[in-house]
Amino acid sequence: MADRNDAIAYAAFHTFVSPALRAVARGPLHRARHAGRACGAPTGQRWCAECESTVDDLLLASFARLRSALSGAMPKTRSGQLVREMVVVCEHLVSADARDEDAAAWAGKLGRAESDAEPWLRAAWAQLVHYPLLHLEERTRRADAVRRGASARPDRDLRQAAWAAPLRDDPAGLEMLIVLVHRMRRRVSDPFQVPDDVRERHGLARAEASRRMGTALKALRAANPGFFAANIGEPVTGHGVEPPVDPYESIVMATERAQARAALSRLLMVRADEPMPGTARRTSCRDVIAALCALSAGQRADPVAAAVRTLGVAPEQAAPMVRHLAVQVAAAGVDWTDQLLEAAPAAGTR
């Protein structure tokens, strides 16, 4: 590794350092790019092209640092002192003992550099493997995000950029957006679920928190469509997790589904003789909803006729009522509504 010829030196360096560096880099790279799952090349036993390229870059950077130290440009600490561990490594590499040592034989020992290992081996582990890989997971996420056009510091942009000023009017929505961007980068399986600590910190119920997140996403998309597409809206392919094509619509659909199910539950599960605000009594919509479900299943049914018959209204009045109920059933889900119909009190009790 101390040979004057860089090609000879790098071959020995690669043999000595590569196994240990790959072993340590595996976890951070797989978490950053593959949601913790292993990656692999189309053929052979190597990793995917991106991870292989990252490891190659790390090896070259570590080698360049070592060669610089061997040439006399020893790295220094913040206080201006020479990095003692690198001094120990370089002194050993140019010693007479190192001349006859086999890099391949020491490679296995480098990956198991325990506290009782030789001082130069522990120093080599620290300087050639450990320190080059510090914060590798976050550095990889940031580099990948920037490469696809996303922001290097999305939290800073959302908190400080002039274009994001309207988003800061809602502190809860702003915090949700920051959490969401980081979750998207971490390949979280359900990034759009509002964390309980964020929700509780702002005193929000789950439904209200989902609504506020949807509003914040809509505002972000309007304020900076490019930031939205690069940081949230872009599908992430090949890494095990596919976020929704339109995250805002995902939130809105979840909120509308909850609201529709609550409305249908009130219509079907409350008895007809219970008073309602602004009306003398509630009129049953069970037959109309059942007809809508039957029609969705391909069966012959006439929801408008059912509304005329059971609600006692004219056809021109029944049609808009049926359209409103159809939207509710579609949002709630036909299968879910069918199950609610089975659980609801029978028509004769309503």
* pLDDT at site 349: 41
Query: What is the C-alpha end-to-end distance of the chain, expressed in Å?
Result: 88
Grouping H, G, I as helix, E, B as strand and the rest as coil, residue 321 is helix
Q: Which of 213-217, 268-272, 339-343 has the lowest mean pLDDT?
A: 268-272
Q: Where are the alpha helices (DSSP H) in 35-170?
A: 49-70, 84-93, 96-99, 103-110, 119-125, 136-147, 154-160
As to burial, measured by CB atoms within 10 angstroms (0-12 exposed, 13-18 middle, 19+ buried), residue 266 is exposed
* pLDDT at site 38: 75
In sequence order, the 6+-apart residues with CB closer than 8 A to the CB of 277 are none
Query: How many CA atoms does the CB half-sphere of 105 hold within 13 Å?
Result: 4
What are the backbone angles phi and psi of residue 132, rounded to the nearest 5°? Answer: -60, -20
When pLDDT is averaged across residues 201-225 and rounded to a whole number, the result is 85
pLDDT in tens, 262-272: 788 888 865 44
Asked whether 341 and 261 are in contact (CB, 8 A), the reply is no
Asked whether 131 and 77 are in contact (CB, 8 A), the reply is no
Name the residue with higher pLDDT: 148 or 144: 144
Name the residue with higher pLDDT: 145 or 334: 334
Question: Is the predicted pLDDT of residue 241 greater than 50, yes or no?
Answer: no
Question: Is the predicted pLDDT of residue 57 greater than 50, yes or no?
Answer: yes
